[in-house]
Amino acid sequence: MAVSNRIKNQHLLWRAAFGPMAENAASLDTISQKNLWALLVKTSSKPVEKLEVTKNPADEYINGMTDPKEMEKTLNNQEPRKKLREQSREDLKKMNLRWLETMINSEAQLREKMSLFWHGHFACRSQNSFYAQELLHIIRTNALGSFADMLKAVSKSPAMLQFLNNQQNKKSHPNENFAREVMELFTMGRGNYTEHDVKEAARAFTGWAFNPKGEFVFRKFQHDDGSKTFLGKTGNFDGDDILNILLENIQTANYISKKLYRYFVNENVNEQNQQWLSKRFYSNNYNIGKLLEDMFTSDWFYEEKNIGTKIKSPVELLAGIRRLLPMQMENDQSQLLFQRALGQVLFYPPNVAGWPGGKNWIDSSSLMLRLRIPQILSANDAVDIRPKTDDDVQMGQMMEGIRKMKDAVKGGTATIDWAAVNSIFEKVQREKLLENIESTVLQTKNKLGNVILDRYVNAASRENYIKSAIVNLMSTPEYQLC
C-alpha cells in the first residue's frame, strides 16, 4: 500500500520537528514534502534568540575584583557556594521549562529539534546554571551550521571543561578525561584511536581552563609545549590542533552521520545511504544544514520501513501532544515531573554518553504513564507519579522542589483549545472522520480500526467525537512511535 502524502509530511514533521501543529495540520494532505522542507528551513533561518534566565550568579560576589585567585577564594566560601547552588537549581528548572515551551511553540522547529539532538550528543551536566545556559546557546546557535565551529565552541565552554575535568589538566599532572571523551563521544567513536593518542591529546589540552566569570582562558604556564604524536601526526600541538586533526579524519564525518541516521531515519542503518551521507558531510566541510537536506529530501527517507518505527523520547512525546492539542498549563511543574518519571530531564543527561534512546525509553512503569498522559492533561483524571529512585545527588537536589508537590497530579492540569483542534477536521465528512483522525494522530502501519475505536469514542456531538477519538488514540502504544 502506498504511503499517503499526509503520512509522509507527518513523518518529516515528527523527525525534523516536534510533530504537526493544530493550526497547520489540515494542510498536510496537499503540501509537497519539498515545500514543507523549504518551510522548515526558512522558519529556522532567523537569528537565534538567547534563552536567558540568569546572569552569572557569581557576579554579585566578585563585583569589582580583578585577581582570579581572590575571586575563586571568595566563591569557595561556604555561604556563597550554598546560595549559588540553590540559585542554580531554580534557574535550571526555569531554563528547562523555557526551552520546552520554545520546542512546542517556536516557528524554528528544525533548529530546536537539532538542538535537542546536539544536547544529547554533547551531553553535559553543570551545577552552574549560567554555564549550562551559555552551552545551550552555543548549541542552538550552531545547530544547523558548522559542526567544526560547534565542536570548538563546546570544547572551550566552561560547562564542558568543568564537567570533563579539564580545569585540572596541567602539564605536571595530565587529566585524560576531556581528551578521551572528545574522541570517543564527540568525534570518532570508540576503536578508532589508541591509549597513546589519548595521552598525547590530554597533553595538548593542558592549560585549557576558564575563569570565575565563565570566560575561556589559556593558561600557558600549565600547558605542555613539548612535541606530541597524535593519530600518526607529530608536532607541538595544542587543543585546537587536536580538534583540527580529528576533523580532518573522515571517521569523524562517518561517526556523526551514522549517529544522525540512527536518530532521524532508522536505528537499523542502511550502510549505502549512510556512507553516502558521510562522504557528502565531509566534502561539504561538516555543514549540518546540507547534511540534513541530503537526508530529509532523499526518497529513501520516506520509505515505509522508516515511518512509524522510532520510539518517541519523553520530550518528543510531551512536545508532540502539546503541539497538536494547544493548551494552557496550570502547573508548569508537572512538566518537570513527567520528564523525571519518563527518564529524560533536560540539562540532566544520565552520563557523558547522553540518553541511549530507542527501546531504553520504555519499561513497564514508564509505558503505563505514557499511556495515561493524554488523559491526565485532558480530563479530570489523577495519577500517582513518583520519580524513580535510581537517583544521584545532583538530580536529587534538582528534584527536591518537585517532590514537595502533592504525590498526585490532579486533573485539570491543562486547558486545551479544542476549537483549534476541531478546525483541523471541519471539511471532513462524518463517515470519514475517524479514519482522518487516526491518520493525523498515528504514524504506524497498523491502524486500530473503527470497530475497536467506536467502543471508546463519545458520539454525543461532533466535537465530543473528535476530542474522545484523539485522546483515546494518543493513549495507545502505537502513539509512542513516530
Of 117-126, 284-293, 404-413, which range is least confident? 404-413
Pseudo-torsion of CA 87, 88, 93, 94, nearest 10°?
70
Output the nine-digit C-alpha cell for 270. Answer: 542502511
Provide the 8-state DSSP code for 477: G
What are the tens digits of pLDDT across the range 299-330? 999 999 999 999 999 999 999 999 999 999 88
What are the tens digits of pLDDT across the range 374-433? 999 987 444 445 555 555 544 554 444 444 444 444 544 789 999 999 999 999 999 999
| Whether pLDDT at 147 is above 80 | yes
What are the tens digits of pLDDT across the range 12-39? 999 999 999 999 999 999 999 999 999 9
Q: Give the chain's mean pLDDT.
A: 90
Output the nine-digit C-alpha cell for 436. Answer: 482522518
Mean local confidence (pLDDT), 97-125 = 98
218 has which bridge partners?
A: 208
217 has which bridge partners?
A: 209
What are the tens digits of pLDDT across the range 180-215? 999 999 999 999 999 999 999 999 999 999 998 889
Beta strands (DSSP E) in 113-271 are 208-210, 216-218, 228-230, 233-235
Mean local confidence (pLDDT), 352-357 = 96
Confidence class of residue 105 from pLDDT cuts 50, 70 and 90?
very high
DSSP per position, 127-164: S-HHHHHHHHHHHHHHTTSBHHHHHHHHHT-HHHHHHT
How far apart (Å, rounded) are the C-alpha atoms in residues 332 and 345? 14
- Residue 308: which residues within 8 A CB-CB, separation 6 or more? 11, 442, 443, 444, 445, 478, 481, 482
The dihedral sign for the CA sequence 129, 134, 137, 139:
negative
Output the nine-digit C-alpha cell for 323. Answer: 503541539
pLDDT value at residue 407: 44
How far apart (Å, rounded) are the C-alpha atoms in residues 204 and 381? 57
What are the tens digits of pLDDT across the range 437-452? 999 999 998 777 677 7
Provide the 8-state DSSP code for 386: -
How far apart (Å, rounded) are the C-alpha atoms in residues 73 and 75? 6
Rg (alpha carbons) of the chain, rounded to whole number: 24
Mean local confidence (pLDDT), 256-276 = 98
pLDDT value at residue 374: 94
Extents of the domains making up the chain: 5-43+249-306, 59-248, 314-416, 425-480
Of 22-26, 56-60, 101-105, which range is least confident? 56-60
pLDDT value at residue 55: 87
The dihedral sign for the CA sequence 329, 477, 6, 467:
negative
pLDDT value at residue 60: 63
What are the tens digits of pLDDT across the range 211-255? 988 899 999 999 999 999 999 999 999 999 999 999 999 999 999
* 389: three-class secondary structure by DSSP: coil
Percent of the chain exceeding pLDDT 70 equals 88
Percent of the chain exceeding pLDDT 90 equals 78
